Structure 1
Amino acid sequence: MGRLARLFVLFAAALWAQAAAAEVQLSFHSFNGSVLFGRYPHTFVVLEGTLEETGAPVNENYGFTAKRASPAVLRGPVYHDILIEKPKYINSTNRHFTVPISDEEYWAIRREMEGWRDAPGKYYDLETRNCIHFVGTIAKLVGITVEYPDDMMRRPKKWLNHIAAINPDLGAPQID
């Protein structure tokens, strides 16, 4: 085989390997937190990988939160925000499970996040539209079965453990 032919084979193999590796992983995280000290318990998603269609890298995360932590959160809807976590913080959280997603699912997640982020008015409600509801909506977009037991709506780690239990195909261990 000539030198040009070998270069072509190597180039084709590299392209094939890159295409085969193109995939975005969606991970579901919780943070234990403390109602009295530091940050509140929280759940969010992390997207990492490469889009198959374009080869564009993905390194994003989203969590839904109240714009300000105050006693007003206990009285009803308040202004909201999408929280983007720093890598250092992500490394200190509980990664419950990870699933591969398609480019189409990635874009659906982005549209959903933008809808929550850009909703007018007071959209965060501790009882009916909190970080758990946001992450649950994302999970449903990728085919994960979701329930919202009343006793878990302020307990993200317990809730994600529950989601893992009702979706045994995720193969996710319970996190203490």
Structure 2
Amino acid sequence: MPRYMRQMRRILSIFLAILSLGWAPQAFAQVELSFHSFNGSVLFGRYPHTFIVMQGTLEETGEAVNENYGFTAKNVSPAILNGPVYHDISIEKPKYLEKTNVHFTIPISDKQYRQIVAEVKKWRNQPGKYYDLDTRNCIHFVGRMAQIVGLKVEYPDDMLRRPKKWLNHITGLNPQLGARAIK
């Protein structure tokens, strides 16, 4: 084989090797964190709610992620109005996710993903009556997840039972998201 052909073959091999490194599936691996609200309706049995959704692929392991978490009272009853009640972590069905408001989505690192999962477990495993409509509800839960990923969070009193309005407020506090309020 002529020398120039060997050189071309070698250059092509190097080019393909570099190209394959740049296009490896893990190069595109990433988990995205979305912040959702549900308008709710007392008449239809679903109250206003906010929760998070994580989807994508972990960069370190290539493991697929498709999870969602919300914080709620274990039993919805008038007792919620009188102080702390037993709590639960809710996981929404895919068909329910289609009916929610997606306020914004951000990429997160594998480390942030692990921190969020650990925080979910922490909230889930709290002993006793941990859900409180005014001091520890779904808004506070989602707010904690937003803080983990570096977002500015506030809890105005007039928004503590209005997840959509609250997430619109968080959108305004974090212009770097490039998100718009949802009407």
| TM-score class normalised by the smaller sequence | over 0.9
Kindly state the Cα deviation for residue 15 of structure 1 after the two structures are TM-superposed.
5.5
Partner in structure 2 of residue 111 of structure 1: 118
Structure 1: which 5+ residue stretches go unaligned? none
Structure 1 position 125 matched with structure 2 position 132: yes
Partner in structure 1 of residue 101 of structure 2: 94
Structure 2: which 5+ residue stretches go unaligned? 1-7
Instruction: Please show how residues 1-176 of structure 1 align to structure 2 within 5 Å.
Output: 13-14=19-20, 16-17=22-23, 18-176=25-183
Instruction: Report the TM-score, using the length of structure 2 for normalisation.
Output: 0.89
The one-letter code matched in structure 2 to 1:67 is: K
Kindly state the Cα deviation for residue 11 of structure 1 after the two structures are TM-superposed.
7.5
How far apart in 2 are the matches of 1:37 and 1:72? Answer: 20
Instruction: Report the TM-score, using the length of structure 1 for normalisation.
Output: 0.92
Superposition CA RMSD, Å: 1.7
How far apart in 2 are the matches of 1:45 and 1:155? Answer: 16
Equivalent pairs, count: 174
How far apart in 2 are the matches of 1:16 and 1:22? Answer: 12
Kindly state the Cα deviation for residue 20 of structure 1 after the two structures are TM-superposed.
1.7
The one-letter code matched in structure 2 to 1:34 is: S
The one-letter code matched in structure 2 to 1:116 is: W
Q: Which protein is bigger by CA-based radius of gyration?
A: 2
Q: Deviations over 1:94-145 (max 9, x none)?
A: 0000010000000000000000001111100000000000000000000000
Secondary structure class of the residue paired with 2:53: strand
How far apart in 2 are the matches of 1:10 and 1:69? Answer: 59
Q: Percent of aligned positions with the same letter in both sequences?
A: 67
The one-letter code matched in structure 1 to 2:62 is: G
